[in-house]
Each structure stands twice: as structure tokens, then as C-alpha cells.
Amino acid sequence: MKIDSSIVRLEFLEPFGISKLTRSHQDVLRVSISDGQYVGHGETPAIPYYGKEVKTMKKLLDRNVSQLNALDWSAASKWYPDLLSILPKDSFVRSAVDAAAWDLFGQRHSVAIWEYLELANPKFGSPSNFTIGIGTAAYVVSQIEKYPWTSYKLKLGTDQDEAVLKAAGQATDRKFRLDANGAWDLEKTKSFLSFCATSLPEGMIEIIEEPYKDLDEKGMEVLKAESNIPFYADESFQSIDDLQVISKYFHGVNIKLDKCGGLTPALEIIKDAKSMGLKIQLGCMSASGISIAPAIQLSTLADVVDLDAPLLIEDADFGVFYKDGVVQMSGKYGLGIEL
């Protein structure tokens, strides 16, 4: 086998902001694995607030490429334990390599990965939302008007959150998923829930992602029990070891393959999370269709699908398409990636 990698810069269609930062571009590390006949592809992004930088990730991969080339890539049960031992501390790089391995596996065996895993076709999954970056009420309304969609995810985390949400609700009758990216404390979360209950139509808000700055704040468990809007963990969840703590404060968990190390461990995480009574959200980082292709294979396992990154970036489909909001891949074997 031969593993290659390259750094690519993707351009957002317009600047994209969350409570932590605003970006006009996104750098990604692309990985390929070739057996001389077929080529599998994977991708992972640079995320500053996770300490991920593409040059560092590429150096790590290059430093270990000889060991990786020599692995047994015939099955995930063989490649992933060794991949974990070679790259134990970087889940993002592992995720990209794991994706490329699955893509190659499917091509070599003439099968789509969702089918090999005996899952339902992604076309039967729940619709994905369309994400609107943090901004003023006027900006959010303009985005809703510009991009009609089945539901919207709003990035929050300013003192204008209530005004933004009220304006958004007046602009459309679609439902909203909210993401504060950890910008609120307990009192802010309480006051926001009160605002939702008294000032917004019932059922307008489907979920709230990662409201809390600090999971150790007194009262979080009570707030979870009292909230009629489900809370989903994102930044608080990094690996399967976090699930027990997550279940105390959240109703669900946002599983992003970059953070958990790829499609292979995500299967186990989803199973364990469901056994704890947690709802499943499949999310993604800002990247291209290559990056979200592995998660699409699992989309029918999710209660909430948040796989819209290619909609926000120029020329980023690579086989991904949306029908009535449902994210799907091409009919190509493997992950369905088209270059």
C-alpha cells in the first residue's frame, strides 16, 4: 500500500463565524491510500480551538508513513488497532486515514460502505440542517431568505441571541437547532430557556448544542431534567470515555468522526451512547464532502443529522448531494467520493 497526503485550502462562500472565531477559509489535510489499482480518500480539517494545524498533522503522518504503509488494510478489525497504536494522540489524522481505508476497502470489494455495514441507505436518513454563522438579526434573516432549507442551525453566543432568534422565527416557519459552542453559563442558559418558553412558538427549537462553558457548575443536572428542549454535547465530548459524564448533563451527543478517531470507533460509540439513553447527532467540522462521506454512511443511525459543511464551501461536493435536505452520496463503491 502507498499512503500520500496533501494540504488543501478551501474557501467559504462567505465568512463563517461561531462564538470562538470567524473564518473566510478552511485548511484541510487530504489522505489517500492506494493499492496500485484503487485509491481510497479521506480528509480532516485544521481546527484552531482544538489545537489542530494541517502542517503539524501532515508532519505526523509523514513521520509514520512507513509503518502505516506496512499495515494489513484488509479489514477494519486489523487496521484500526495498529492505526491507534501508531497515532494514539491524534484522532483527526486517524479519522482521515481510517476513512481512506474504508473507501479503498469498499472499492476493492465492489460495495458501498453503508451496505457492507448492513445499514439502511443514507437516502432514508433524516434531513440535515443548514448552518448559519454567528451574526446580527439582519444577517441571519438575510441568510434564511438566501438559502431556503428544511431546518436551520443557528450559531449563537452574543448578547443579541434572543433578538436573533426572534427575528429568525419571524422570517420562516422552519424549525431551528441552536449551537452556543460553550458560550453560556448556567444563568444565561436558564434565562434563554425562559425566553424560549415565553416568547417563541412551542416546538420552534429542536435542540440546543453545547450551551455550557463549564460542566462542573452546580445545577446542570437539574437544568437538564427541567428543560423541554434537548441538550446535545459537542465540545464536551471527545471520546468514548466521556459518555458517562455526558449522560449526566445532556440528552444527546454530537458525534464528529474527526474527534472520535474515525468511522470505525464511531460505530462502537453510537452503540454505547444509545445503551445509555443518549440521542445521537451526527455532526461535522468545516470541510469538504470528502470529510463528511464516512459520517453519511452512518446517517440512518442518527436522531439528528448535521452534515452540511459542503453547502458552506466553494466546490466542495465530491459526490455529496442533498435531496429534500437529506444528505446522500454518489453510487460509487466505497464511501461514494467522486474527485
| Per-residue pLDDT at 48 | 83
User: Cell for 155?
Assistant: 450559531
pLDDT at residue 145 is higher than 90: yes
Distance CA 4, CA 298 (A): 26
| Three-state secondary structure readout of 94-108 | HHHHHHHHHHHHHHH
- Partnered with residue 31 across adjacent β-strands are 5, 42
State residue 3's pLDDT score.
98
pLDDT at 20 over 80: no
Q: What is the pLDDT of residue 213?
A: 77
The answer to whether residue 132 scores a pLDDT higher than 90 is yes
- Is the pLDDT score of 95 beyond 80? yes
pLDDT of residue 215: 76
Structural contact between residues 65 and 87, judged by C-beta atoms closer than 8 angstroms: no
Report the SS3 class of residue 298: coil
Average pLDDT taken over every residue of the chain: 95
Per-residue pLDDT, averaged over 84-102, amounts to: 97
Tell me: pLDDT of 214 over 80.
no
Exposure string (b/e) for 282-303, b if CB count within 10 Å is 16 or more? Answer: bbbbbbbbbbbbbbbbbbbbbb
Strand-pair partners of 252: 232, 279
The predicted structure's pLDDT at residue 31 = 98
Q: Find how far residue 200's CA is from the centre of its chain.
A: 27
Can you give the pLDDT at residue 21?
A: 78
The H-assigned helical ranges of the chain are: 54-63, 65-69, 76-86, 91-108, 113-116, 137-146, 161-171, 186-199, 220-226, 243-249, 257-260, 263-275, 289-297
Tell me the mean pLDDT in the region 1-28: 92
The whole-angstrom separation of Cα 93 and Cα 65 is: 12
Looking at residues 23-44, what average pLDDT do you find? 97
* 35-57 CB burial, b ≥16 within 10 A, e <16: eeebbbbbbbbbbeeeebebeeb
Where do we find the cell 412551542? 202
Q: Considering only 33-42, 47-56, 96-105, which range has the smallest mean pLDDT?
A: 47-56
The confidence score (pLDDT) of residue 58 equals: 98
Per-residue confidence (pLDDT) for residue 218, from 0 to 100: 77
**Taking 80 as the threshold, does the pLDDT of residue 285 lie above it?**
yes
Going from the N-terminus, what domains does the chain have, and what CATH number goes with each? 2-112 (3.30.390.10), 116-329 (3.20.20.120)
Q: Is the pLDDT of residue 278 over 90?
A: yes
Q: Hey, what's the cell of 103?
A: 473507501
Closest by alpha carbon to 164, among 150, 151, 178?
178
Instruction: State how far the Cα of 336 lies from the Cα of 317, in Å rounded to an integer.
Output: 11
- Give dist(CA 250, CA 110) in Å, integer: 40
- pTM of the shown model: 0.95
Residue 270's pLDDT is 98
